[in-house]
Structure 1
Amino acid sequence: MAKEEKKAPKLRFNGYTNDWERKELNNILKINSGRDYKQLNSGSIPVYGTGGYMLSVNDKLSDTDAVGIGRKGTIDKPLYLKAPFWTVDTLFYCTSKENSDVKFIYLLFQIINWKRYDESTGVPSLSKNTISNIKTYVPKIKEQDYISKLFFSLDNTLQLHERKYEELTLIKKALLQKLFPKKDGFKPEVRYKNFNDAWEQRKLGEV
C-alpha cells in the first residue's frame, strides 16, 4: 500500500509535525463589501481601491486589519489593510475568523491563482461565493502566527532596503550634477581635495 502523502510543507518550524487541514476560505475568513466614499469629507482614514491607496476620508469601514482582494478589475493583487480604513466597491476586504490570523490570510492570498477563478469574459471579476468556496490547506493558529511573523519581518527588511536604494539613487543623481562640469564652465562644483585645475574639453572620439 502506497504511503499517503503528508498534507504539510516540507519546511516547518520546530515542534510542528501535524497535517494542515483542507478548508474552504469561508471557514477562516469573512468577506465584506467596499462602498462608495464620495459622500465623505477629507480626513485621516485611508481609502483603498484595487490599485492601492487613493485618498483619505473622515470615516471607516473596519476597526480590524483585513486583506483586500479585487471584486472587479485587478483581482490578483491582494492588499494588507491596516485598520482603520475604507475600501471602494470594487475591492472586497476580508477579515479573519477566530481560528485564523489575518496576516497568514494575506500570505495565503498571494499564492492563490486568482485569475483561475475569474468569472467574466470581459473585465476580470470575482464574487463572494467564488472566493468563499476556494479550498486550501491551513495549519493551526499558532503555526499561522509563526509563519506570518517570518514573512512580515522579511517584508519590513525589504522595505528598508528599498528606501535605502531610493536614497542612494537621489545621492547619485545629485553627485552627477555636482562632480561633473556644467555647460558654462570647465570646473565641477564639487571636487576631491587637491584637484583644482580645469577639465579639458575634448571630442568623444578622442577618448
Structure 2
Amino acid sequence: MQQLLTGRTRLPGFSEAWEAKRLGDMLKVRHGKSQHGVAVVDGAYPILASGGEIGRTNIYLYDRPSVLIGRKGTIDKPQYQDKPFWTVDTLFYTELSNSTDPKFIYFKFVMIDWRSYNEASGVPSLNASTIESIEIFAPSHAEQTAIATILSDMDAEIAALEARRDKTRDLKQGMMQELLTGRIRLVGTVIN
C-alpha cells in the first residue's frame, strides 16, 4: 500500500510525475451536524460519528462518495462512505473535486499520522483548515483510480479470508464442544 500510494511502485502504463498538492486543492472539509431532530428508529441512512454508526435517519446530509475523519475524539480512524449519510458535529466529511478519486483519498488518509496534527491538549481535535493545508503527492486521476481499484480488491480479498477464518474457527469451536461432551464419539475409540 505504501509503495503504491507514494509512487515508489508504479502501475504499468503510468509514468507521469506525481504532483505535490494541498488536500484543500482536492477536497473541501465540511462539518457534520447534530443528529437531534433527525434521528429515527428504522431510518434509511446511517448517522455516523467518529466511532461508526450511532443511529439512523431518513434525511441525508451528503450523498456522494466521501472520506470522513474525526474532528474531536477519535481523529486517527478515517472512514469511507459511498452511500448517503448524516454525520454528527464531531465528524468531518469531505466534498471531493471531480478530478480526485474518493477511494484513493481514503487510502491516503489512512497513511497520514493524524495525531501529529492534534490541536488540543485534552480531547484530540483536528481543524478543517489544518486538514486542507496538508500536502501530499498525487498522480493523475486515472492513476489514482487504478491504485484505488487494486487496493480495494486487496481489501475485499482480506475480508473474504477473514470471514473464512472466522467460519473455520466457529466450526472448530462447535466440533470441540461435541467431542469434549461426548455427544460425538470417534470411531475406533474405546473408553474403559
Matched, 1:98 2:102: no
For residues 86-111 of structure 1, the C-alpha deviation after alignment (integer angstroms, 9 at most, x for no partner) is 11110001121011011110011011
How far, CA to CA, are the matches of 1:9 and 1:127 in structure 2?
28
How far, CA to CA, are the matches of 1:155 and 1:55 in structure 2?
26
| Alignment-derived partner of residue 192 in structure 1 | 186
* TM score, norm. by length of structure 2: 0.91
For residues 138-197 of structure 1, the C-alpha deviation after alignment (integer angstroms, 9 at most, x for no partner) is 11000000000000001111111111122112111111110113xxxxxx10123444x4
* TM score, norm. by length of structure 1: 0.85
From the CA coordinates, give the structure whose radius of gyration is larger.
1
Matched, 1:54 2:48: no
Runs of 4+ off more than 6 Å: none
Matched, 1:82 2:82: yes
Secondary structure, aligned partner of 2:44: strand
Larger relative contact order, structure 1 or 2 (CA cutoff 8 Å, min sep 6): 2
Unaligned runs of 5+ in 2: 1-5
How far, CA to CA, are the matches of 1:10 and 1:75 in structure 2?
27
Map residues 15-94 of structure 1 onto 2, 5 A cutoff. Answer: 15-40=13-38, 41-42=40-41, 43-94=43-94
Unaligned runs of 5+ in 1: 1-7, 182-187, 201-207
RMSD over aligned Cα, in angstroms? 1.4
**Contact 1:95/1:102 (8 A) holds in 2:** no
For residues 109-148 of structure 1, the C-alpha deviation after alignment (integer angstroms, 9 at most, x for no partner) is 0111111111111111011110111111111000000000
Secondary structure, aligned partner of 2:180: coil
Matched, 1:116 2:116: yes
Shift of 1:81: 1.2
What is the number of residues matched between the two proteins?
185
